């Protein structure tokens, strides 16, 4: 197993409150597997990615077990594999690049960390090759450009080039299509799968259409996994009401908004965290409804590859 996460919990101290961003999440990722994690903003998916990459902010507290190739993922191991075997493509590409350094310098810095013996000329040409492989038509122009001179799609591809500098076994792409137009989004997703065909991919997204390009999908709500399954089965036959409503909210499915607001992560309900927004909940009888409100359901297996966290799914 390439990556294993067992009972991961990440909390943030905000004033006198404790925000439960990731709550008892377990998952496993095999070599070359392509898995998407989907959910609304604030569901915990990006925090999960940061925990794996070891870049949680100072006010975060985490517990649980993360293993890399059956070895506990210690800070020392992270320093060894991060940027080489483990690559992170952060969200907000323009904000993730240093505004006072050229794109070429920043990608060459990523390259020199894994290949320190390269000469300056070889480093330059290798960086241009990375830009070309990342789908940038004018690599020399991009090399000398500053982030503010790049479009969002170009900046995303610069980060993609930086992730290609090593030989990643796992690539974590955090919202790689956020803020991009439809055509650029589709191009970048296809490129992501092509470039990292021989790597495992953990794709963090709020877009069910992007998630469907992966082999499997994990759905998160309020810090918990609420459904997992093979992508095609989950999209065509979703089990959890939240997944159903996420699909209905997609522009291609009618753009029906999910009512209400996401759960208050500092004051979580005792029962199902989606009950106050759930379309199914209003159709239940009194006893069924009370069960939803009284006790949080466990994640139960459904067949060989699916699981759902719902009393009535």
pLDDT digits (tens, 9 = 90+) for 235-251: 999 999 999 999 999 88
Question: Residue 14's pLDDT is what?
Answer: 85
Cα-atom radius of gyration of the chain, to the nearest Å? 20
Name the region of 286 (left: φ>0; alpha: ψ -120 to 50; beta: rest): alpha
Q: What is the pLDDT of residue 181?
A: 82
What was the pLDDT predicted at 253?
82
Helical axes 103-114 vs 120-133, angle rounded to 10°: 110
118-130 confidence digits (pLDDT tens): 999 999 999 999 9
- Cβ contacts of residue 222 below 8 Å, gap of 6+? 23, 43, 44, 262, 263, 265, 268, 273, 274
The rounded distance, in Å, linking the Cα atoms of 34 and 242 is 22
Report the DSSP beta bridge partners of residue 89: 173
Give the span between the Cα atoms of 53 and 35, in whole angstroms: 16
Sorted by sequence, the CB contacts under 8 Å of residue 145 that are 6+ apart come out as: 102, 103, 104
List of domains in the chain? 3-85+167-258+299-308 (3.40.50.300), 102-165 (no CATH)
Residue with tokens 């082999």: 215
Question: What is the structure's pLDDT at 132?
Answer: 95
What per-residue confidence (pLDDT) applies to 180? 80
Inter-residue contact 43 to 223 (CB < 8 Å): yes
Q: Are strands 17-29 and 34-38 parallel, antiparallel or unpaired?
A: unpaired
The CA distance from 101 to 105, in Å, is: 7
Which pLDDT belongs to residue 201? 98
pLDDT at 235: 96
In contact, 289 and 309? CB cutoff 8 Å: no
- Tell me which residues of the chain have a pLDDT lower than 70: none
**The predicted structure's pLDDT at residue 94:** 87
CA angle 151-152-156, nearest 5°? 115
């Amino acid at each position: 197993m390439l990556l294993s996460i067992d009972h991961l919990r990440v909390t943030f101290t905000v004033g006198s409150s404790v925000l439960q961003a990731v709550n008892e999440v377990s998952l496993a990722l095999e070599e070359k597997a392509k898995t998407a994690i989907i959910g609304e903003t604030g569901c915990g998916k990006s925090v999960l990615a940061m925990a794996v990459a070891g870049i949680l902010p100072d006010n975060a507290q985490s517990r649980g077990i993360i293993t890399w190739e059956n070895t506990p993922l210690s800070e020392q191991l992270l320093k060894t594999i991060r940027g080489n075997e483990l690559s992170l493509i952060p969200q907000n590409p323009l904000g993730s690049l240093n505004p006072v350094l050229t794109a070429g310098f920043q990608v060459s810095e990523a390259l020199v960390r894994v290949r320190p013996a390269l000469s300056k000329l070889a480093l330059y040409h290798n960086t241009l090759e990375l830009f070309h492989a990342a789908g940038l038509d004018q690599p020399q122009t991009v090399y000398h450009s500053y982030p503010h001179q790049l479009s969002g799609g170009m900046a995303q591809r610069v980060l993609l080039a930086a992730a290609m500098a090593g030989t990643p076994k796992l690539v974590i792409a955090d919202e790689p299509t956020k803020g991009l137009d439809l055509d650029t989004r589709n191009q970048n997703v296809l490129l992501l799968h092509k470039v990292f065909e021989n790597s495992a991919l953990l794709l963090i997204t709020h877009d069910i259409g992007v998630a469907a390009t992966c082999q499997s999908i994990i759905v998160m709500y309020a810090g918990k996994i609420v459904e997992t399954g093979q992508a095609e089965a989950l999209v065509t036959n979703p089990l959890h009401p939240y997944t159903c409503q996420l699909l209905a909210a997609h522009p291609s499915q009618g753009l029906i908004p999910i009512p209400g607001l996401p759960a208050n992560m500092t004051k979580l309900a005792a029962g199902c965290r989606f009950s106050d927004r759930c379309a199914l909940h209003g159709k239940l009888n009194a006893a069924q409804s009370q069960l939803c409100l009284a006790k949080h359901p466990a994640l139960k297996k459904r067949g060989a590859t699916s699981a759902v966290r719902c009393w009535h799914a």
